[in-house]
Amino acid sequence: MKFLKSGLAVAMAAFMGLAASQASAADVELAKNLRIVIGSKSTGGDTYQNSAIVAQALADKLGINVKVDAVGSSAAFKTLRRISNGSTIMIFHDQSYLGYLYGVKGYFNIFEDFTVGPTVAINPGNSYLVPKSSPYQSIEDIIQACASDKKIRVAIQPGGVSEIGFSALKNAIKLRYPGKEANLVAVNTGSQSDKNQLLFDGQADLINGSVQANEQYTQLPAEDQKAMRFVWLTARPETIKQTKPEGFGDTSQEHLLDFVSPKASVTQDGEKDFTFDKEFFFIYNKKMDPAIVDALDEALGEIYAEGKIQETQKKSFFIPNFKPSAEAAAYLKDKMGQYEVIIDSIK
């Protein structure tokens, strides 16, 4: 249903875009040199890649220069706050509000302080892994282990995307076996290599990782110290179904689905399963001219209607996911509300 709706929106935006593209160029002064600041400092990471793909498409479509600067979240928010003329915009993902929910310094309520723009893509890779030799075969085994008072140590990066799955898991244990959630403990660490290292050292039983970074480790023979196994992908099943049938690396889409709800079930409220898709979206200065918001929506609508960007995104294991600003903001606000409940319940 939702999918249909966004499809319709795309079609409509595309239609309106076709009708209005001539006119809009005249009434909205889009910056000739658009700067996109991103919430990550890495130029090798998924945020940068995603933004680079979108930036390239926008530059081709609008005939302007678009460049992506990996300034990191606090500098990006700071710059965005200062510049309201639309010459600088931001692209980030769910971290932008999760950081706020977890109370990390330097994060704000983006829905109050900024304007949330369109979503462009999903990184479906957020996952949890165990050593290949682990006694736990599934995420359910881990829940049961906690229920029977075994301590499970989970390596995560605190305060955001890496922690939300951990919080959800804790919440699920609390719902099913109240009081036992204390058996699930966080080992707070940093980068992916640090998380892997904790697993190799036997300092963690479960780690947060990603399909992209960890898939090859799951292909190693069990006797290799580095061998791992997926137990849970937090993505929605319909997201994984949009990947190519070959899936990623040597793991087919069908196999990936084994680790996704409903097969790997972590309940959110006793009824439906918790899911988390890392979605990339635009963030604007609150005072930016609404006409620019519309113009960018329109341009992106046309880009997605053409269908070329989807291929590029899928090649890098991103799931295309265009929602125009208004729809995206409402959707993300709801998403934040749901996670707020989870985080509050395990505080």
The footprint of another protein on residues 136-165 (CB under 8 A) is 151, 153, 157-160, 163
Question: What's the closest the beta carbon of residue 292 comes to another protein, in angstroms?
Answer: 13
Of the pair 7, 106, the CB lying nearest another protein is at 106
Of the pair 250, 306, the CB lying nearest another protein is at 250
Residue 20, interface with another protein (CB under 8 A)? Answer: no
Distances (CA, A) of 121 to 23, 27, 44: 28, 29, 17
CA distance 157 to 170: 16
Three-state DSSP class for residue 228 = strand
Residue 185, interface with another protein (CB under 8 A)? Answer: yes
The count of other CB atoms within 10 Å of the CB of residue 63 is 10
Residue 71, interface with another protein (CB under 8 A)? Answer: yes
Of the pair 52, 143, the CB lying nearest another protein is at 52
The answer, yes or no, to whether the previous bond of 158 is cis (omega within 30 of 0) is: no
CA distance 184 to 208: 13
Q: Site for another protein (CB under 8 A): which residue of 21, 24, 56, 252?
A: 56
Stretch that binds another protein, among 42-50, 265-273, 274-282, 324-332 (CB under 8 A): 42-50
Stretch that binds another protein, among 4-12, 29-37, 125-133, 232-240 (CB under 8 A): 29-37
Of the pair 84, 144, the CB lying nearest another protein is at 84
Residue 123, interface with another protein (CB under 8 A)? Answer: no
* Binders of another protein in range 200-229 (CB under 8 A): 200-201, 203, 212-217, 219-220, 224-226
Residue 52, interface with another protein (CB under 8 A)? Answer: yes
Stretch that binds another protein, among 22-30, 192-200, 321-329, 332-340 (CB under 8 A): 192-200
Contacts with another protein by CB under 8 A: the residue count is 74
Query: Which of 318, 321, 316, 317 shows the shortest CA–CA distance to 335?
Result: 321
In contact, 156 and 203? CB cutoff 8 Å = no
Residue 9 — φ and ψ, nearest 5°?
Answer: -60, -40
Residue 125, interface with another protein (CB under 8 A)? Answer: no
Question: What's the closest the beta carbon of residue 245 comes to another protein, in angstroms?
Answer: 15
Q: How far is CA 31 from the centre of its chain?
A: 28
* Binders of another protein in range 228-257 (CB under 8 A): 248-249
Residue 41, interface with another protein (CB under 8 A)? Answer: yes
Residue 190, interface with another protein (CB under 8 A)? Answer: yes
Residue 269, interface with another protein (CB under 8 A)? Answer: no
Of the pair 104, 326, the CB lying nearest another protein is at 104
What tokens does 101 get? 């929910």
7 Ramachandran zone, left/alpha/beta (phi>0; psi -120 to 50): alpha
The count of other CB atoms within 10 Å of the CB of residue 19 is 11
In contact, 97 and 281? CB cutoff 8 Å = no
Count of alpha carbons within 13 angstroms of residue 240, beta-carbon side: 27
125 Ramachandran zone, left/alpha/beta (phi>0; psi -120 to 50): alpha
* Binders of another protein in range 308-327 (CB under 8 A): 315-316
